[in-house]
Structure 1
Amino acid sequence: MYKLLLCWRYLRTRWIALASVISVTLGVATMIVVNAVMSGFSNEMQTRIHGILSDIVFESHSLSGFQDPQWHIDEINRAAGDQIAGMTPTVAVPAMLSFQVRGQWVTRQVMFIGIDPKTHAQVSDFGRYLQHPANREQLSFDLREGGYDTIDSQNPTETPTRPALEHAGWPHRRMRVNRERLWKERLESKNSAENSPARSVDQQVDAMLAATS
């Protein structure tokens, strides 16, 4: 106990020593916090990258790829099959994508990636982020008749609900097609519509969806 009293009396009379102790304490605490944050960030980054890229990637120098990818897979399995968790063929080529936004065509350069939906889930975590349970169970990009996750499946207790996904899938696709058709009809009959007031486009879409449901 007397040691603490001596230290306290010494530090009370020598403020420079007290400031030095506080500075060293803050520096060590900052270093510990930064190391902990960077360690967590590094682990998270490695996990995310490992969920996208495989441990070993066999690439072809030709744009046409391997002539017989299944033969290569069989040969690799024959040589080291007991040490391999999964394999899948993938095609990645540069491509140009054109899409229409509000009546204007937009062209972008993209990387076109082709996968095998039956085996791609063995080497990637991509399927975990799909928004339909059936598509997560068997990797698929098919549209469904509803049933999409209104609550994030990754954090069901910490994320708010997403009511916009209640009509995702084919219902949203049909609603969009009907909306575009109604807009086209409205533009074509613009001159005649000025004489007789009509319902808004949203009201027409709602009425059509209610009639077809």
Structure 2
Amino acid sequence: MYKLFLSWRYLTARRTNLIGIVGITVGVGALIMILSIMTGFLDEHRAAIRGGLSDLVITPIHLARADRAVPPRDPEPLLDIVRADPRVVDAAPRLVWGGMISPRGAQTEVAEVYYSHPETGNVPVVQLVGIDVEREYGVTTLRSALERVRTDPSSARHGVRDLDNPFEPPPGLPDDGVAYRGVLVGKKLYDTFQMRVGDRVNVLTAVPDTRSRTVKSNNLVFTVCGAFKTGQSEIDSDIA
């Protein structure tokens, strides 16, 4: 009690003491606030740059070599070498290709309006990414992106049924002989075309023919299994 009384007496004896304490308090508080803001900004900036990619991306270059060697088509031998590095948590293969998307059935009219809109001027080009679900969960934020849609009350019905098996066929699919190919769609792209889980979409891709050395079109039908939301506009609007 005596120490508290003595401290308070000398603290209030001179006004400069109070001013100094208030100044130190404000300065430390401002420093903590600025550091918190900068830390959050750096995290957001890092996430924006990285997006849904892993920390390291290895892309093969299929060019003619002097020794006429051909790059391997199977990525597993290379991935095994990468995983053997103790600094690597995991590695996942990806097959990336481009295509033009068009909903089928009743949604086709919506797509036609969108394509011809004078203000958008957008070609419905999407990036198709083939993944190994288990490996992909280990290297990217896909699982949290799928869960973000499921846990949002306003969009829960557009989420996948099972996070462990996101490409599980939606219930009520017609048995019309069409081969099943599941697809997960970025939330912004999903909303633009007013898709629903179970909808079928046409994806027109171009496939090179090594024999004739020409490019042939290939029309595939995919079934929408759900939407994902990474929070990055470039990913949510262009990737399926």
The interval holding the TM-score normalised by the smaller chain is 0.3 to 0.5
More helix by share: 1
More strand by share: 2
Give 1 or 2 for the bigger CA radius of gyration.
Answer: 1
What TM-score do the two structures reach when normalised by structure 2?
Answer: 0.43
